[in-house]
Amino acid sequence: MKIYNTSSRKEEEIKEKDVKMVICGPTLYDYMHLGHARLFVLLDVFARYLRYEGYKPLMLVVLTDIDPKIFKRAKELNIDYKEFINRYKREFIYDFSLLNIDLRNIIFASASDYLAQAHNNILQLIDKGYAYVNRSNVYFDITKIKDYGYLSEFRLKAVDLIEGKRSLYDFMLWNGREEFPNYIKSNVLGKGLPWWHIQDVSIALSNFNIYTLHAGATELIYPHHEAQRAILRVFNKEPKFWFHINLLTINGEKMGKSKNNTILVRDAILRYGLNTLRVYLLSKDYREELEFREDDISMFHKKVKEIGYGGSDIEMNNLNSKEVVNKIESIKGSILEDVIGLKI
């Protein structure tokens, strides 16, 4: 099987039969929207096809639960931070089940469960000369990686702006300057938290050590995946494939919480039906943007009904169907409990 490898700029064959994949998942401060759904439905079909072809896929989905947006949102709602992230972790996996994503070969991993590993990795980067302390924070020195920027075709932008950095492009590994509801005390670094890029790398290395493929939305190529690639190269653990799926847009803009233009997965399923939604999200090449249009999805609803799959048993615009809501609620607890031991 061949896929487009962002790193090599060409389609390449996946030769390993055991395909370990790391997927950069969402930040846990709201419900899943259709932008997330496009990524995960495509990856679900990808994993199903791999299995059909005799491969053994295993998908590690990274959940970001350490982020300023989460701390701010929990404070606004006057909810304990841990209670807040546990709630949205449950809701995220609930939405996974609603989308009929095959959960048998998926590991869900939260950044907050890997703080010690991330801290140790930061200390190793400092010892190796790839990272430095500046004003209580720790930054990765990108000049130590000769081809830093290659993954993103050298379209670099300044990140983590603060005085004292060696380069505008040096990215943060440890945040020791801000106050957080949860932090760790380091004998070397003081009080703080491992930051975004090192969180995901630490999760990947803790679970897989060596893996085949790193995937996510195209918007993550820079700085997130560029930074992760640099860290992984230091540890000699870079995967062969970097696999990216393009965005779902609405009115020409990325669908996202920051844009206030999201359509929630659970609302879309009630409105259009599961089968219609999955077929629609799969209707365009994964490397191209998918522009959401109501007329397009209505057309797919008709086509799905014509081939005998219906729109699941949820009809268009039947937003108040008690039968549908009860059916969804009935699977919510059982799936979560069976797969990861969470109870609603």
Confidence class of residue 112 from pLDDT cuts 50, 70 and 90? very high
Q: How far is CA 328 from CA 174, 187, 221, 267, in A?
A: 41, 48, 35, 12
Residue 313 has pLDDT above 90, yes or no: no
User: Bigger pLDDT: 228 or 258?
Assistant: 228
Q: How far apart, in whole angstroms, are the C-alpha atoms of residue 284 and residue 300?
A: 12
pLDDT, position 312 = 47
Task: State yes or no: pLDDT of 290 exceeds 80.
Answer: yes
Assess contact for 223 and 168: CB atoms under 8 A.
no
Give the C-alpha separation, 178 to 191, whole Å. Answer: 9
| pLDDT confidence of residue 325 | 43
Three-class DSSP category at 147: coil
Q: Where does the pLDDT of residue 324 fall: very low under 50, low under 70, confident under 90, or very high at 90 and above?
A: very low
DSSP state of 237: -
The angle, 0 to 180 degrees and rounded to 10, between the axes of the packed helices 274-281 and 34-52 is 80
Measured in residues, the chain has a length of: 344
Asked if residue 213 has pLDDT above 60, the reply is yes
* Token pair of 25 as six digits: 């998942």
Q: What is the DSSP string of 326-343?
A: HHHHHHHHHHHHHHH---
The domains found in the chain, sorted by start residue, are 12-110+198-338 (3.40.50.620)
Average pLDDT over every residue of 18-23: 98
